[in-house]
Amino acid sequence: MTPNPQPTYKGSCLCKAIQYTITGTPLTTVLCHCTNCKKSSGSSFQANLFFKKDCLNFQSGQDKLSTYADAATDSGGIPHRSFCSVCGSNILSTNDSHDLVKDLVIITSGCLDGWPTGEGEKEFRPVQEYYCKRKVEWVRVLGETKEFEGMT
Ligand SMILES: [Zn+2]
Ligand SMILES: [Zn+2]
């Protein structure tokens, strides 16, 4: 099977009001263990996929997106976290205050609906972990990830 160089993935929030596609392969795949990602996700870490901003297209519900400017980070950056105002699913974040990611959109992998190429599960395996100093004890080493104490 020849891999599709520009796969398109569909994503949606829990209530399906927000539906989007993301085209291309992620630049990187990250588990973030920072306190703010824990709060924001309501879980023990957040699984994030980094894409160029122009990879993202909304099919519906963009008006349902609420955005929170998260100024209480210890990196000093201000990520903008966007979530569905109806069901609360975390959809994406952006961070214009950080040079490395200002052209990127960070998509939560849990809101993706599947992968037409069949390769997505492999592609979305995290390759990096941020804020390992905040990693909860029972989250074990995943294998092939590169671990960072903080964001870098
Ligand atoms: Zn929703
Ligand atoms: Zn984080």
Query: pLDDT tens digits, residue range 73-114?
Result: 877 888 999 999 999 999 999 998 888 889 999 999 999 987
Is 8-147 assigned to CATH 3.40.30.10? no
Quote the ligand 2 centre to 143 CA distance (angstroms): 20
Q: pLDDT tens digits for 44-81?
A: 999 999 999 999 999 999 999 999 999 988 778 889 99
Instruction: Give CA separation, 75 vs 34, 71, 104, 130, 135, in Å.
Output: 10, 10, 17, 12, 16
Distance CA(3)–CA(9), nearest Å, equals 14
Distance CA(10)–CA(148), nearest Å, equals 30
In the chain, domain spans: 8-147
Instruction: Give CA separation, 87 vs 12, 57, 91, in Å.
Output: 11, 20, 11
Quote the ligand 2 centre to 31 CA distance (angstroms): 8
Quote the ligand 2 centre to 23 CA distance (angstroms): 23
In this structure, which residues have their CB less than 5 angstroms from ion ligand 1?
13, 15, 17, 84, 86-87
